[in-house]
Structure 1
């Protein structure tokens, strides 16, 4: 089976790639810099230099593919994230349609079901719609809030603070990217499915930022206080860091759009619940140093 993997050095893609290799598949890895692949995968992976916004390159790289794992890559700094999503949506839809790819697993997000009003997630929603329009089998993985996002707060955590634009008592499904990779690989290697499916990946439990701060405090052996950052202040901080208005809208729009009573379309159940707890993840990655 010929399986193409995008973003193969990312938090999720790297896990998908390694699981496919361990399953006896020689996956095709699309990436800008093939030299970034781990040395131990040399000869076990077909590395293809590709920019996912380059239609011709992607079509050539996915020719003959039976399955495709697609992630929209981050937009280059200073550009419009939603414009990048739109380009990627057209490219992947053309690849699926013209190459007759048997099934695609798309890494989407909780909130994509809103279609509009959720910042950067609107770009994932547009990609879902583009893939749906091909009529080919597609599975949208609607993932929860990545635990790895907490790494961006490492400096604040050292001072005992966890700042967030999310309401402090708003529960979110927290998920480890490794677990998303496990689900994606299982679906890529599993039996075919007809038409369009949506599968949530919600982690083991929903947590508010107050609860997250408490867990992090226990893991780090210090008091950690969650602090709400109002939308206007959050946007001002992003602007102060040099982000453009489209970038600010994409980032701030996620919390602003999903804070007011949003409930994921897919319920938490045996299919959507994954095992890695925030406590175990934090113990490995966010211990006080």
Structure 2
């Protein structure tokens, strides 16, 4: 039995597809934890065991983890949370207790790069995510944290300004190369770990994409794929901070995002060397052609 949390999310949903129908398709029973089962396609609901509710609820995770051999763990967005601890470790504490109580043997979690870097203790959301990893690693289950850089897919939030003004923004230096990964590759890495559970102990599995790119490199590739000029505009941290409350984020989450972006510009994602195993396959150009371009042209 494999339990998948956030099965309608951008990673959990792709993972569920892989385990049901993709090249990773598997015959083991699947169980999903979802707040609103109606968000799952009817054909999917017919093929999985559905536990309705939030996976921070002790009763929900007790039901979900009964008989489970492996769990895929993701904390959902909680824009109005009062603290970063509440978003990550606070949300996870009931599940950690249930993992121990039910003797779940393997857990795969979505986390971030940065452990061991000089800025790991002041990286906002990333610092809190690493603390969540430590909590899960202490349950007795074998644990693997998928250590991710920024997601290519986050650029979809800027499809409109890319289309209308030929501009995308971030706070990082324009010429600083950094890894970035496609969420579909993160889901594939999770599927590999969930299907081959020969691993033991705790550790990280970096998902780094095939190359490091700067913001200017990304603008050049987007321009070539879209056939129109796209340029990068660097946003100050103060302007970035001012923009976030309008998206519904609490003060604590706003400061967490600011601290994370400051840390990224100070080398947060540069602490892991790319290897053949950590170099996930989707290039930024391929992702732009297959995902960003249809979104911009829609």
TM-score range, shorter chain: over 0.9
Q: Please say if residues 96 and 136 of structure 1, whose CA atoms lie closer than 8 Å, have aligned partners that are also in contact.
A: yes
Question: Is 1:155 aligned to 2:135, yes or no?
Answer: no
Q: TM-score under structure 1 normalisation?
A: 0.93
Instruction: Give the TM-score taking structure 2 as reference length.
Output: 0.91
SS in 1 for 2:224: helix
1:53-202 equivalences under 5 Å are 53-77=56-80, 79-113=82-116, 115-158=120-163, 159-202=165-208
Are the counterparts in 1 of residues 113 and 147 from structure 2 also a CA contact under 8 Å?
yes
Q: Are 1:35 and 2:38 counterparts? A: yes
Unaligned runs of 5+ in 1: none
* 1:74-126, Cα deviation, whole Å (9 max, x unpaired): 11446544322122231232122111101101111112555421111122111
Where does residue 280 of structure 2 map in the other structure? Answer: 274
Cα distance per residue 1:35-79 (max 9 Å; x no partner): 111232232111110212212211221111100110111114465
> Is the contact made by 1:20 and 1:26 (CA closer than 8 Å) also made in structure 2?
no
- Contact persistence 2:71–2:107 (CA under 8 A): yes
Deviation at 1:253, TM superposition (A): 1.8
Q: Residue by residue, what CA displacement relative to the aligned partner does 1:129-162 show, whole Å, maximum 9, x if unpaired? A: 1012223211111012111100111122120111
Moved more, 39-48 or 195-204: 39-48
Aligned to 2:131, the other structure's residue is in SS state helix
The structure-2 alpha-carbon separation of the partners of 1:137 and 1:242, relative to structure 1 and needing over 3 Å to count, comes to closer
Unaligned runs of 5+ in 2: none
Contact 1:4/1:29 (8 A) holds in 2:
yes
Distance in structure 2 (CA, Å) of the matches to 1:129 and 1:241: 30
Q: Is the 8 A contact 1:74 1:81 kept in 2?
A: no
Check whether the contact 1:199–1:266 (CA below 8 A) recurs between aligned residues: no
Query: Within 1, Cα distance between the matches of 2:248 and 2:44?
Result: 37
String of CA shifts for 1:173-219, please: whole Å, max 9, x gaps.
11111111111011101032221121100111111111111111111
The number of equivalent residue pairs is 288
Change (3 A) 1:263 1:235: closer
Distance 1:240 1:191, change over 3 A: closer
Structure 2: distance between partners of 1:286 and 1:132: 36
Could you give the per-residue CA deviations for residues 245-289 of structure 1, whole angstroms, max 9, x where no partner exists?
112112222111221133544321111111111111111222242
User: 2:149·2:269 contact (CA, 8 Å) conserved in 1?
Assistant: no
Whether 1:13 and 2:16 are equivalent positions in the alignment is no
SS in 1 for 2:122: coil
How far did residue 242 of structure 1 move?
Answer: 5.0
Task: Report the Cα distance in structure 1 between the residues aligned to 2:247 and 2:91, rounded to whole angstroms.
Answer: 26
